[in-house]
Structure 1
């Protein structure tokens, strides 16, 4: 009887032990709930890490930009480069300038160097299709975006900037025609082989064709490492060839370096009856136009710093993945001496006297402005 009671107790203990063991397993299996929350934390963290890739600062700050220049000459080029550097730095990037000194083989080599050094984006100033197209195709294949300025280079994925060259030529030629009363003898200073020059020539030919009483008596021009000085020497020779007052009514110069050289030659010769009309405008040019003794009295231009700024904005749009136009035409402004005060002004404050000058908003998106603000805080 006692043995049966003992046996009964042992069976009961074993049953209770099994039950407790089962309960223990249930508590253990229910514990993964917290671990599921813990697992969710890395997922959220991964999502949080991925999010900044869409943030302009995370994706675009610190970009390395290459600026390839065919010929850096005079204050116009200096101010253009300043505009590029200013805008890139505001966006948190850095710029390296490669100057070819008018050597197309060197410019092509500079493009190859920019690709091999893995710059994030490339800006091109002037340059020919023959020299640049092979390298540009490689850059585009490697997903390095390109924005050009006044270049012959033309490929589907490149955004090309130009100054509205025909309009600039029309503005200066129209004023020249009015000032000389629609008749006279003029000298043209121009050079072939540059895309902007070719566009300006279209307007010049139309002007000559529609003004039969205005005659071109001389034409010359060459882009050299000392363009203004060489132009001055050539203009001095033209003045000797036409020594009498009235032989030359006016000079039309298709580039500010040409206008500077011609104006100096005319002023030194005392031929104050001859007036000069130019294209492009820098601080140095503006000083000459404001000088009442200078024969250079008017020019049409885009603020060179604005050109650099706008070019950079469209490059960053490409880096951001935005759709950009194939061509961007910058609006030129006509500037004449009679618009200006007697006190010296610079291109920085020229907008106070000439409506529309400087401060272009072209290519300025809201996210670019945001990127500038965020980069400024770093």
Structure 2
């Protein structure tokens, strides 16, 4: 298994800026012996054929539950697409549960997955105070669990994240540089979500680092129509601040916020206002690439790549391999100026942003064989 990296340069920056951020705990998952067998390829498509290189625990198709706090926007849909694609490539099946931002429903879905005796559980977002008891129950019953963008801290559960501190700081620092350290900004934010809380930590540090950049307004809420709601709120704010110089930039640490703010600014013809965001999807790319788009930069990871990585960690756990307690995905800064004039998709981003979508984390030698055997 290739080595994994837990820390990044952005986190080192965050640790210098902040004193009070809690550190993640070391990996505690125990390493167990991997057994293998050999057999001829079967013509039965419902079974994964045996191979000397495939761990014995994976000689049958795995049944996976993917439990998501919400499914809002194209980032979430591309993340789920990545999860499904990787599970299917490994010959397994995945049932996706969307809790519609209801944490009690999310916990209930974990219980459902346990009762259905799934082979593994993927957690997307969620808060420990609501779902930790159910997750602990799954671990106690020997069900591998891997979480994404959650504050869960349970021995044996691998938690991956987008390095939210680095994401926020990369975007904020770019905005500060473009403003030359002075200006008036709008902050679009909502609490109650682990990644948003972490990004807000960096925003608070940013205000201390750049005291001449003043927040003139703040708003934000999460709903099934977040982008549209944000657009309406931004339109009202632009009417309140109608003059050039009233607002210089918008910091929107979620692409749904950035989309809404961008469209409002475009429709109002306020091209002097620039948008700096977090996250990226195909829809976001179209907005950024548009002529005279105010969306200047975003810090992001590839959501589909994150979903695939999470699945690989889960399969490693199912195979009895050691996995880290925490893993931070290396984020990228994507600036409008590096994008081509012709429209591109997320699958083409690697041509313009080095390292995009090419993570080899959680790769084991037997995975290639498993894919071949599962065709």
After superposition, the C-alpha distances for 1:123-156 in whole angstroms (9 at most, x for unaligned) are: 0000111221111111111101100000122211
Structure 1 residue aligned with 2:190 = 191
Structure 1 residue aligned with 2:352 = 353
Secondary structure at 1:207's aligned position in 2?
helix
Q: CA deviation at 1:59?
A: 2.7
Structure (1 or 2) with the larger CA radius of gyration: 1
Query: Contact (CA 8 Å) 2:312, 2:362: kept in 1 or not?
Result: yes
Q: Structure 1 CA distance, aligned partners of 2:337 and 2:141?
A: 51
Secondary structure at 2:100's aligned position in 1?
coil
Query: Contact (CA 8 Å) 1:57, 1:375: kept in 2 or not?
Result: no
Structure 1 residue aligned with 2:137 = 138
Q: Normalising by the residue count of structure 2, what TM-score does the alignment of the two structures yield?
A: 0.85
In structure 2, stretches of 5+ residues that fail to align are: 1-36, 40-49
Q: CA deviation at 1:55?
A: 5.3
Query: Contact (CA 8 Å) 1:57, 1:371: kept in 2 or not?
Result: no
In structure 1, stretches of 5+ residues that fail to align are: 1-46
Q: Structure 1 CA distance, aligned partners of 2:203 and 2:130?
A: 28
Q: Structure 2 CA distance, aligned partners of 1:242 and 1:154?
A: 44
Within a 5 Å distance, the mapping from 1:1-378 to structure 2 comes to 56=54, 58-60=56-58, 61-376=60-375
Query: Contact (CA 8 Å) 2:286, 2:343: kept in 1 or not?
Result: yes
Greater share of helix residues, 1 or 2? 1
Q: Structure 2 CA distance, aligned partners of 1:191 and 1:152?
A: 17
| Bigger RCO (CA 8 Å, 6+ sep) | 2
Query: Contact (CA 8 Å) 2:55, 2:319: kept in 1 or not?
Result: no
Q: How many residue pairs are counted as aligned between the two chains?
A: 328
Judging changes above 3 Å, is the alpha-carbon distance between structure 1 residues 58 and 324 closer, same or farther for their aligned structure 2 residues?
closer
Q: CA deviation at 1:212?
A: 1.3
Please give the root-mean-square deviation of Cα atoms over the aligned residues, in Å. 1.5
Structure 2 residue aligned with 1:12 = none
Q: CA deviation at 1:73?
A: 1.1
After superposition, the C-alpha distances for 1:238-283 in whole angstroms (9 at most, x for unaligned) are: 1122111110000000100000011111111111100001100000
Query: Contact (CA 8 Å) 1:57, 1:374: kept in 2 or not?
Result: no
Q: CA deviation at 1:224?
A: 1.1
Q: Structure 1 CA distance, aligned partners of 2:259 and 2:336?
A: 15
Secondary structure at 1:348's aligned position in 2?
helix
Judging changes above 3 Å, is the alpha-carbon distance between structure 1 residues 48 and 362 closer, same or farther for their aligned structure 2 residues?
closer
Q: CA deviation at 1:105?
A: 1.5
